[in-house]
Amino acid sequence: MKIKEIRALSAEELVKHLEETHQELFNLRFRLATKQLVNHREIPRVKKKIARLKTIIRERELDIRKV
């Protein structure tokens, strides 16, 4: 998901995507622990997605405070 696509989402959608991404990271870590994870690059990719989502949420919080 590109940053432009993330910025276009509403606050509720951002929170929903963040929860789904955290669940995805949990599942990837579980598969890693059980040696079922094929592509190890998936974990950093999901972590970056979480960081992007959290950044946009925080930007919106700060913008609201300025008004």
pLDDT at 67 over 80: no
**Per-residue pLDDT, 66:** 66
The CA distances from residue 41 to 11, 21, 32, 49, 53, in Å, are 28, 15, 11, 13, 19
Question: How many CB atoms are located within 10 Å of the residue 27 CB?
Answer: 13
Average pLDDT over residues 9-15: 95
Instruction: Give the domain range for residue 55.
Output: 3-66
- Taking only the tens place, the pLDDT of each residue in 35-54 is 999 999 999 999 999 999 99
Distance CA 44, CA 57 (A): 20
Which CATH number goes with the domain that contains 34?
1.10.287.310
Q: How many domains, the chain?
A: 1
